[in-house]
Structure 1
Amino acid sequence: STKQCVQSALEASEEKFAKAFHSSPDSITITEIESGRYVEVNDGFCRLTGFSAQEVL
């Protein structure tokens, strides 16, 4: 069905994004606009700042 195709495409897209986010050597963050709070950071961010993800999140 169309709903299943859309769901499969969404899951594939999310998987692709997660791989790119976590494997990038560059610093990438996801932040909450209103508060400026970090929602997720990658290893590149941790290497650049010296902070662990647990310290920042």
Structure 2
Amino acid sequence: MNNGLLLCPNHDELFDKHLISFDINGKIVISQSLNETARVFLNVNNELRVKFNEKQLS
């Protein structure tokens, strides 16, 4: 499967609601509307990354 991301339920929900995304390098991009309290509670921080395979990047 090359057209999806395997995320934990919290991160999957945030992704579906466009509150997080990932840049071409796999680094998380967090919406400004997600406040610091929510970020801590949902375990969202600027250190999160995903690894894309070659087919996902093409």
Radius of gyration: which is bigger? 1
For the criterion TM > 0.5, the same-fold answer is no
TM-score by length of 1: 0.28
TM-score by length of 2: 0.27
Question: Which structure has greater helix proportion?
Answer: 1
